[in-house]
């Protein structure tokens, strides 16, 4: 069975983002969370949605050494 939720520590590695940034994303409603006792669990689906919403990087490689 696939995991549906990650701990904050696991989400920090998956996104990657700082502890503070994770909680800012939660407060902004960009990450769906559940509480299990004192533990905050973050929905894997909401992490995937966040990844999908990020803009694609347009990297200029013309200045790279040959």
Give the pLDDT of residue 6. 97
Domain ranges, residue 40: 5-53
Residue 63 lies in a domain: no
pLDDT tens digit string along 24-57?
999 999 999 999 999 999 999 999 999 999 998 8
Residue 39 lies in a domain: yes
Give the pLDDT of residue 65. 64
Structural domain count of the chain: 1
Beta bridge partners of 6: 42
| Three-state helix/strand/coil letters over 1-65 | CCCCEEEHHHHHHHCCCCHHHHHHHHHCCCCCEEEECCEEEEEHHHHHHHHHHCCCCCCCCCCCC
Residue 60 lies in a domain: no
């Amino acid at each position: 069975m696939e995991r549906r939720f990650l701990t904050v520590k696991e989400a920090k590695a998956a996104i990657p983002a700082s502890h503070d940034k994770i909680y800012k994303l939660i407060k902004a409603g960009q990450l769906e969370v559940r509480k299990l006792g004192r533990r905050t669990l973050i929905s894997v689906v909401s992490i995937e949605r966040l990844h999908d919403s990020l803009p694609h990087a347009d990297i200029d490689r013309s200045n790279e050494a040959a």
